[in-house]
Amino acid sequence: MNKELKIFGVVAFFTLLLYWGVEPFAHGQMHKHVDFNNFVYDGKADIAAAPADKKEAKETFWKEVGEISKLKGDPVAGEATYAMCTGCHMEGAPNMGGVIPPVLDNAGAIYDKNYLIALIKDPAMASNVDHKYADTMTHPMGSIKSMVSQPQDIANVVAYLKEKKAGAVTPKQAYEQACGRCHANRYVNWTQLGTVPKTEKNLATGIDVDALKFKQAVAEEQALVADYMGKLPPDLSIIIRARSHHFLETIVENPQSQLAGTAMPRVGLNEQGFEKVMEYLEVSGDPSKVARDALGPWVIGFFVLFTILAYLWKSSLWRDLH
């Protein structure tokens, strides 16, 4: 018996060593280290990674953002200024300059305050994709710089969003508003144009014309997004199986950190917003979790019982052999 345990120890040792080597160790070596800033948007990483000629501009920008953040915003005045935003940020808005402007119904709840300030001040800088707009191209939301330019106005609009657009938000809303205009999620029927509508096929021809029309509209929208972004952003149906939690939180916080030069803008989610998005990604990417957790203890319990009975059986047969 002692000898068997010793042999088992040797087998277990080498098995665990093998596991450690090919899993935690190898994966730790394979992926570059990226610092996570806990969804604090202070531009630190942007400035550090900026080329020499852009460093100063970025430093000034984020310093000014910090100053505006200290101002006390007036939500009532902010609401009046916000009226300008609704011209684009509305339900059913068309593609503008490559992407559909997001609905801001939950903006105060899911986006960080500092990020919102930065975004109104200079969208390309805030989302850390200013490298994309070096030539004649301008950011689709670039006009905001001339529309809301005074620090107090910016503080007011953000105060309004934080007070009036910060109600309860569902995981679905968080995903749709923060990610869903670029990233489809086919496992939950989400497209860049919204949820796939229920349609019916013509019984005589067997063809669903409305579904085809919707497909075409989606294809056209995807072409616009792909043209603007350089490629079609990936479907996120099972991204939580394909990327680690750390990868997702760091790429959401600062896309450049994981994919240098990417066209993906930072969307400025706060911790709550990120958690809601992750919850939704779990719904589409790992829907069996609940069932696994419910069934697991029963199956394992069965085999524990099985093993005990097998041991008793074995003991009864082997008792007199030695």
Task: Give the interface with other proteins as residue ranges (CB under 8 A).
Answer: 3-4, 7-8, 11, 14-15, 17-19, 21-23, 25-26, 29-30, 186-187, 234, 237-239, 241-244, 287-288, 291-293, 295-296, 299-300, 303-304, 306-307, 310-311, 313-314, 317-318, 320-322
Give the number of C-alpha atoms closer than 13 A to the C-alpha of residue 183, restricted to the C-beta side: 20
Burial class (CB in 10 A: 0-12, 13-18, 19+), 243: middle
Between 25 and 76, CB nearer to other proteins: 25
| In the complex, minimum distance from the CB of residue 314 to other proteins, in angstroms, rounded to a whole number | 4
Instruction: Please say which residue, 21 or 197, places its beta carbon nearer to other proteins.
Output: 21
From the CB of 213, what's the least distance to other proteins, in Å? 21
**Where are the extended beta strands (E) located within the chain?**
190-191, 194-195
Using the structure block, give the residue that is written with the tokens 């903006």. Answer: 107
Alpha-carbon distance of 78 to 305, in angstroms, equals 66
Residue 276 C-beta: closest distance to other proteins, Å:
21
Given its phi and psi angles, is residue 259 left (phi above 0), alpha (psi -120 to 50 degrees) or beta? beta
Four-point Cα dihedral 288, 290, 292, 293, nearest 10 = 160
Residue 313 beta carbon to other proteins: minimum distance, rounded to whole angstroms: 5
CB of 136 to other proteins, least distance (A): 28
Q: Least CB distance from residue 188 to other proteins, whole Å?
A: 10
Q: C-beta of 295: minimal distance to other proteins in Å?
A: 7
d(CA 55, CA 133): 16
The CA distance from 136 to 156, in Å, is 31
Strand partners, 317: none
Coil, helix or strand for 111? strand
Residue 175's CB: how many other CB atoms inside 10 A? 25
Q: How far is CA 310 from CA 84, 104, 250, 301, 316, in A?
A: 75, 62, 49, 14, 10
Give least dist CB 117 to other proteins, A: 35
Helix (H, G, I), strand (E, B) or coil at 185: strand
Counted residue by residue, the chain has a size of 322
